[in-house]
């Protein structure tokens, strides 16, 4: 398994991963949001490969004038969930964040289905908005201070 930078050629494979996780983790309308992200908002994004197949992906976006690093669009193939892929991808991104000067805060927006995963990394729940992503999929905003990462 390798984690490497995203290339535009990865886009449709990652859309397929999203579809495989819909509707359990993502709402169908989020596919267009992901396409828009790839076209207009991507900052640092990574693909996880196993035997030349993309089995996961996730990104980092720098916001708030370089003070916040946000984990974004984490997607793991259902057959690889619970096998450490998400953990390795998240740790990889946290390691990348450690190398970015000026970061004060790290955030992630996730759902009630996955927030406990991020708690294991030290993220604390800051806000819940019911039915944010879609009916039955709430938004859990979580944060950690950069100093807690180091």
Query: What is the residue extent of each domain of the chain?
Result: 2-149
The SS3 assignment for 48 reads strand
Q: What is the pLDDT of residue 145?
A: 87
Which residues have C-beta within 8 Å of that of residue 59, sequence separation ≥ 6?
A: 6, 37, 42, 43, 44, 45, 46, 71, 72, 73, 93
Q: What is the pLDDT of residue 146?
A: 85
- Domain 2-149 maps to which CATH number in 1.10.1040.50, 2.60.40.680, 3.40.630.30, 3.40.50.300? 3.40.630.30
Residues of the chain with confidence (pLDDT) below 70: 150
Give, in degrees to the nearest 5, the angle at Cα 57 between 51 and 59. Answer: 145
- Measured from the Cβ of residue 27, the count of other Cβ atoms closer than 10 Å reads 15
């Amino acid at each position: 398994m390798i984690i490497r930078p995203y290339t535009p050629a990865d886009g449709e494979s990652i859309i397929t991963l999203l579809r495989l996780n819909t509707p359990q983790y993502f709402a169908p309308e989020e596919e267009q949001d992901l396409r828009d992200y790839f076209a207009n908002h991507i900052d640092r994004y990574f693909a996880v490969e196993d035997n030349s197949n993309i089995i996961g992906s996730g990104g980092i976006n720098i916001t708030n004038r370089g003070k916040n690093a946000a984990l974004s669009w984490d997607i793991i193939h259902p057959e690889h969930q619970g096998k450490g892929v998400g953990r390795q991808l998240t740790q990889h991104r946290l390691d990348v964040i450690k190398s970015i000067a000026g970061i004060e805060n790290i955030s992630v927006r996730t759902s009630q289905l996955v927030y406990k995963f991020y708690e294991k990394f030290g993220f604390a729940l800051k806000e819940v908005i019911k039915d944010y992503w879609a009916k039955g999929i709430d938004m859990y905003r979580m944060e950690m201070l950069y100093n807690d990462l180091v």
